[in-house]
Amino acid sequence: MELLLFLVFGLAASCPDRPPLKVYPKSPVAGQPDYNGWLEKADLPYPLAHQMAASLQDSADRYFVFGGQRSVHGTMQQNCLKYSALTNSWSLCTPMRFPRGIGRAIAVKNLIYVLGGCETFGTGLPKVEVYDPFADTWSVAPNMPESLYDFGAATWRDSIIYLFGGGNWSPGSPPTGRVWLFDPANSSWDSATPLPVPIGALCSEIIGDTIIVATGWTESGPTNAVWCGLIEPSDPKEIIWERFDTLPGMPRCRTVSSVVNNRIYLVGGILEQGVVSNETWMFDPQAISWQMLPPKPHPISDVYGTGIIHDKLYFPGGFPGTAPYLKAHDALNTGQYAHDIGVNHISSPKGRLVPDRIYPVIVWVQNFGGSAETFTASSEIVDSLSHELLFESNKIVALDTGESRTVDFGQFDPGPGRIFKVMSAVHLAGDENPDNDTARCRCRTTSGSEPDGYGYIYRSTQEPDTIIFQWFDPTGGDTIDDWEPNPDDGISERDLSFPFPFYGDSIEEIYICTNGFLETSELSCPVNRNLPFYDMTDIIAPFWDDLTLRESGTVIEKQDTDKVAWTWIEVPRYPSCPKNAEKMTFQIILHADGRIQFNYLSLDGNQASSTIGIQGRDGTWRWFLEYACNGEPANHIPADSLTIVFAPPVTGIREQPSCRLASLLSLECPTICTQTRISIRIIWHTPDIPKVNVFDVCGRLITAMNLKGNGNCTIDWNLDNHARLAPGAYFLRVTTSQANLTKKLVITD
């Protein structure tokens, strides 16, 4: 093996046409591993697996995710998502021309080539699309020589794209050993020396002129074999293949791989028994050894590529072994730092606070670097809407290498009815890794939930300082008996007596399902799921579970001019044994003003088995609020005499100060906008020029606008300049020394 490695890596270093492998020194700290571990980043906008990911060669602070599938039975997507490391946030770019997943995305000379994959499982695609991230535009390239998915891909010298193998365990897509190369400069495809054995669902990387092919699916099942290929620079179609060191552990396929600093990282993968791993392995060709690193926080497979930003590898979403797919976004920090102080997490205050109770401000800090350090730690708390500074404290802290401890900054009196932003930071001159220097969280003394991405909140009688139980008598209503296809898993289309406002849409007809929910799609879906559930649209679920009306129970509809109610009366679960056990009586009330009310009169049996919540459209951009799912959280398990109210943001409402002040200031802009540019006209009769700020529903400042003129100004607000604002509700606030106005603006797709 050592002779082979000398031939492969030594030859690459000695040949003048081959750039030598750069050797990176080990961590200077005795006994310390040469990595800083896992970081949890901003979740994807929605769960995703089978997506392709790629980074540009310019080390800029962003990477891209293409296509994929949001749920097990969902369709492949066309979406192009961009992650910004500077803001730790996702934005939506121009979508691909074709939906696809299980392909590859490869960057060459600051263009990203999306190759192959599937639109539907089992049917490969030959299509190649080219994304220009600077212009946010798409074009097409010549098709691949064959339709492929579950193949490997890598770039050689930022000029040639190699495709390796392909296929998997499907009888219609057995593994192949073919190798193709694509020359973007000439828009040409050619075949290269094939793999030693057919391999699909594999990892492939290139270091210098050396190809590493690892794990995958062979004719005998998953494998941990690793193959090394040496590219002949004078003729890149010629590859010398040799068997390499086997990856330790169980055989696996659909592992996620990447290269940073000439080291190969393999993460997760599907093991022999169908279990998805969270193991993390690093191969150092200089040391000729595999090293196991700390496990990834979430198991992962079925992600094709990673993000690479400086020394960090980013792993978006994936298949964790069971539904649903992951939204989690983990990053592996591979950097080696002599000086690295960070905030581990904020312990207190966070979550919902009880008004008029004093809370300690406690933060965990840690020395991740290789030297003992003395530094300053700070913590501050501000009002989320007014930005008033309410608490501030600084402490001097000394930590040895690897040491962590809590820092007590003092006490905080939150006061009632407010939302707070908490930020803690560390300050060390010469800190080499600013990524972990700051931590943020939110806490509140408001009742009910925090707003979702659109602005809905909920309140319930399970929070004693909020609302009271209010049952609506269904007597005199109409019994629903037109269930299709049957009273077990059936639906019934219902017309509303008023247009019901729901997540920016106006709903005039809706489907009611025997299984305890409303929707605008037509799925009966007896197995309840977590929200968001992307296979259904506009879900209103007081008790989504496998219920049946075959032998007993009834559903009553009662409509008034300002509300409509559906009441499930003594409806049992399926199967119900004995027949009289586990009967549920609950109701949905839709109010004309957009409020949604769930009432629970009596719940006999397993109260923890259900999904309770609402979802707008398919749930994208956090357009959902889940109150409980299958007993989590425990304090939200439904019970007798429970009321839950979901309240929308009040669209189009202005803060009218008084008649005199209102005459000093006016604001004209749309209430609901589907365009990328909004025309905003402001007229004022005050000596000072108004200030214009835009906030999201949580009170975070989105942007500030400058006005010019003598009492009359029109602003052409370009939404594209603000990272493609996510659909949802926003506040436009215009303020002068004598008057202020606030208007709600709802941005839809």
pLDDT score, position 8: 42
DSSP for 667-735? EE--SEE-SSEEEEEEEE-SSSPPEEEEEETTS-EEEEE---SSSEEEEEEEGGGGT-PPSEEEEEEEE
For residue 240, is pLDDT > 70? Answer: yes
pLDDT in the model for residue 331? 94
Q: Could you give the C-alpha distances from 324 to 320, 494, 518, 524, 618, in angstroms and in order?
A: 8, 30, 21, 19, 14
Q: pLDDT confidence of 724, banded at 50, 70, 90?
A: low
Going by C-alpha positions, the residue among 53, 108, 35 that lies closest to residue 265 is 35
Please give the Cα distance from 354 to 356 (Å, whole number): 7
Q: What pLDDT score does 496 carry? A: 94
| Residue 28 reports pLDDT greater than 50 | no
Instruction: Assess whether pLDDT exceeds 60 at residue 121.
Output: yes
Task: Find the farthest-apart pair of alpha carbons in the chain and give their distance in angstroms, rounded.
Answer: 90
Cβ neighbours, 10 Å, residue 462:
17
54 near 305, Cβ under 8 Å?
A: yes
pTM score above 0.75: no
Cα 306 to the chain's mean position, in Å? 15
671 phi and psi, to 5 degrees? -85, -40
pLDDT recorded at residue 654:
41
> Which of 281, 149, 171 is closest to 226 using CA atoms?
281
The model's confidence at residue 5, banded by pLDDT at 50, 70 and 90, is very low
Count the neighbouring beta carbons within 10 Å of the beta carbon of residue 539.
27
Residue 360 pLDDT grade (very low, low, confident, very high; cuts 50, 70, 90): very high
pLDDT at 663: 67
- How many Å apart are CA 425 and CA 536, to the nearest integer? 42
Quick one: 617 exposed, middle or buried, by C-beta within 10 A (0-12, 13-18, 19+)?
buried
Pairing relationship of beta strands 404-412 and 419-427 according to DSSP bridges? unpaired
User: Taking Cα atoms as reference points, which of 652, 710, 651 lies closest to residue 682?
Assistant: 710
pLDDT at 34: 38
Q: Picking from 69-73, 102-106, 306-310, 550-554, which range would have the lowest pLDDT averaged per residue?
A: 69-73
Q: CA angle, corner 747, sides to 742 and 749, nearest 5? A: 180
Q: Are 642 and 662 in contact (CB under 8 A)?
A: no
- Number of neighbouring beta carbons within 10 Å of residue 257: 26
Per-residue pLDDT for 2 more than 80? no
Express each pLDDT in 369-424 by its tens digit: 889 999 999 999 998 877 899 999 999 999 998 888 999 999 999 988 888 999 99
Q: Among 274-278, 366-370, 509-513, which stretch is predicted with the lowest mean pLDDT?
A: 366-370
Average pLDDT of 631-643?
89
Cα gap 295→308, rounded to integer Å: 19
From residue 505, give the alpha-carbon distance in Å to each of 65, 450, 452, 620, 670. Answer: 29, 22, 16, 15, 15
Residue 485 and residue 493: Cα distance in Å, rounded?
12
Omega of the bond leading into 47 within 30 degrees of 0 (cis): no
Beta strands in 334-456 (DSSP E): 341-348, 351-352, 359-367, 373-383, 389-399, 404-412, 419-427, 438-444
Winning range, highest mean pLDDT, from 30-34, 63-67, 370-374: 63-67
Distance CA 258, CA 165 (A): 18
Q: What type of residue is 572?
A: P
Partners of 90 in the β-ladder: 83
The pLDDT, as a whole number, for residue 594 is: 94
Give the per-residue pLDDT at 419. 85
Inter-residue contact 678 to 670 (CB < 8 Å)? yes
- Say which residues have a Cβ less than 8 Å from residue 708's Cβ, sequence separation at least 6: 689
pLDDT surpasses 60 at 186: yes
- What is the helix (H) or strand (E) element at residue 540, kind and residue range? strand 539-544
pLDDT at 83: 94
| The two structure tokens encoding residue 367 | 């020395």
Lowest-confidence range among 227-231, 520-524, 630-634?
630-634
Higher pLDDT, 704 or 65: 65
Phi and psi dihedrals of 155, rounded to 5? -105, 135
Classified as helix, coil or strand, 660 is helix
What whole-number distance in Å separates Cα of residue 269 and Cα of residue 111? 28
The helix (H) or strand (E) run that includes residue 615 is strand 611-615
| Under 8 Å between Cβ of 369 and 401 | yes
What pLDDT score does 363 carry?
96
419: closest CA among 391, 387, 393? 387
Task: Count the Cβ atoms, other than its own, within 10 Å of residue 362.
Answer: 16
Which helix (H) or strand (E) segment holds residue 115: the answer is strand 111-115
Lowest mean pLDDT among 169-178, 350-359, 538-547: 350-359
Q: Label each residue of 143-191 as H, E or C.
A: CCCCCECCCEEEEECCCEEEEECCCCCCCCCCCCCCEEEEECCCCEEEE
pLDDT computed for residue 720 by the predictor: 67
435 φ, ψ (degrees, to nearest 5): -60, -30
Domains of the chain: 2-333 (2.120.10.80), 341-444 (2.60.40.10), 457-647 (no CATH), 659-747 (2.60.40.1930)
User: Residue 662: enclosing H or E segment and its boundaries?
Assistant: helix 659-662
The arithmetic mean of pLDDT across residues 294-301, rounded, is 94
Highest mean pLDDT among 174-178, 247-251, 681-685 belongs to: 174-178
Q: Which residue has the tokens 């009769």?
A: 685
Instruction: Please tell me whether residue 71 adopts helix, strand or coil conformation.
Output: coil
CA 523 to chain centre: 25
Task: Show the tokens assigned to 400.
Answer: 């040895």
pLDDT in tens, 508-549: 999 999 999 999 998 888 889 888 888 899 999 999 999 999
Q: Output the six-digit token pair for 14.
A: 């000695």
Average pLDDT, the chain: 87
Residue 445 has pLDDT above 70, yes or no: yes
Q: What single letter denotes the amino acid at residue 150?
A: D
pLDDT tens profile 649-661: 864 444 444 344 4
Closest to 692 (Cα-Cα) out of 729, 740, 628, 649: 740
